[in-house]
Structure 1
Amino acid sequence: MLTSLPNILTLSRIAIIPLVVGLFYVPEAWAAWTAMGLFAAACITDYFDGYLARIWAQESVIGRFLDPIADKLLVSAVLIMLVAMARLTGVSVLAAVVILLREVLVSGLREYLAGLNVGVPVTRLAKWKTTIQMVALGFLIVGDYGPPEIPSTIIGTLGLWVAALLTFVTGWDYTRVGISHMMAVPPRGAASPPPGKPAQSA
């Protein structure tokens, strides 16, 4: 049900994206901190929407569809704006590229495997990746508007590189699982051997 609280929390992550993007264009400390606050709130809803859906038995098809999309839209928008506003520059842009490419790869794999009725569980390492990534993005959103004694940009950039490394590892894990299922699917039009009779190899 789209109007259930878990789904509303998921939709709120999509709804704040224009606000966060717009605040990037305001060169003021309050705008950076507001954008970071909205982003942090969205990250918190990412935990609570799934948790509430499970304990209230309100898990739904639309919720399972929207949840990963909301996360990817929010992260992608923030990464693009960080590069556009030069808060993420030089070789560090590659970390953002790795994260974005992994999101596209995993989305494609999940879509393909869903057609085979195969689910891909989220690993503990992937959860760590997401946590580190969100914290790093929060620091980068604040950037030079943070307290002078806290190097927000440096902390955020280092965190993003750690997330990119974990992104590469988890992306490979998902790819390996996807390929194993692809290899197990017989080619379209290929005749299946009768029960009890092994398939002949050429």
Structure 2
Amino acid sequence: MCATANGKAESQSDVSPSTQKLTGKPPAKLLTLPTILTIGRVAAVPLLVGSFYVESWWGPAVTTGIFIAAAFTDWLDGYLARKMDLGTPFGAFLDPVADKLMVAATLILLCTRPFEAGGLGHAPWLLTIPAIAIIGREITMSAVREWAAAQDRKLLEAVAVNNLGKWKTASQMSALTILLAAREGSIIGAKTFAYSGVVLLYISAWLALWSLVVYMSKIWKVLLSQ
């Protein structure tokens, strides 16, 4: 999934004359619309978990709807931050945290309940393997980016989001949406739907690991050149 861009929202009513005199610029608002959308994604995680364990026909539909809404707001808050210059340092920090919480929670939930569609319940490890790869990669990259930010600009640029990371996020969101929807075994083509989601999740896991290798390779080159 993409991080909220940094920026500042200027509002004269929120700026004290002394602050403007000292900095020459009005301070950024803490809560802009993109940041509020990001906070909403964090707040939606408990709702996702709760609806996942609802023993009713509407449970899978609500869970899938929450996840789709979260994926959409992830795109929307980044778009608004860039288009309207509403990004903030707090939003830039919280955006990837919200994404990782939603993805990790969804992966763990899917691993805790075997599929009824397509007989996937006979191989519970089928989702566990890519889940560990994806979550492990995200934890590793978070640590690497934090370390790079404390070093120098070149290292930070080496771990900037690239096209491979964007493809990883797109395939990951698509796979999880399909797998959540496929929990409703009564839908037409549920078996094919479930298997396509598993295949896409493995592709996402491969892209996640490959992007990690690419990032680490870039870091290694920067370190060797110093």
TM-score range, shorter chain: 0.7 to 0.9
Q: Is the 8 A contact 1:144 1:152 kept in 2?
A: no
Q: Does 1:85 align with 2:100?
A: no
Aligned length: 185
2:162 to 99, 105, 123: 123
**Aligned partners of 1:133 and 1:160 also within 8 Å:** yes
Q: Distance in 1 between matches of 2:105 and 2:223?
A: 31
Question: 2:189 matched to 1:149?
Answer: yes
One-letter code of the match for 1:141? L
Instruction: Name which of 44, 50, 55 aligns with 1:22.
Output: 50
Instruction: Tell me by how many angstroms 1:171 deviates.
Output: 1.1
- Identity over the aligned pairs, expressed in percent? 37
Which residue, 22, 26, 32 being the options, matches 1:4? 32
Say whether the 8 Å CA contact 2:32–2:87 is kept in structure 1.
no
Spell out, residue by residue over 1:97-152, the C-alpha distance to the aligned partner (whole angstroms, 9 max, x if none).
11011001110111011112423321112111111111110111122305122433
SS at match of 1:159: helix
- Describe how 1:1-202 pairs up with structure 2 within 5 A: 1-87=29-115, 89-116=124-151, 117=153, 118-119=156-157, 120-145=159-184, 147-150=187-190, 151-183=192-224
Distance 2:58 2:133 in 1: 30
Q: Residue deviations 1:12-56, cap 9 Å, x none? A: 110100000111111222111111011001101111111111111
Amino acid at match of 2:181: V
Aligned-partner Cα distance in 1 for 2:94–2:83: 19
Counterpart-to-counterpart distance in 2, 1:131 and 1:53? 20
> Unmatched 5+ residue regions in structure 2?
1-28
Q: TM-score, normalised by structure 2?
A: 0.76
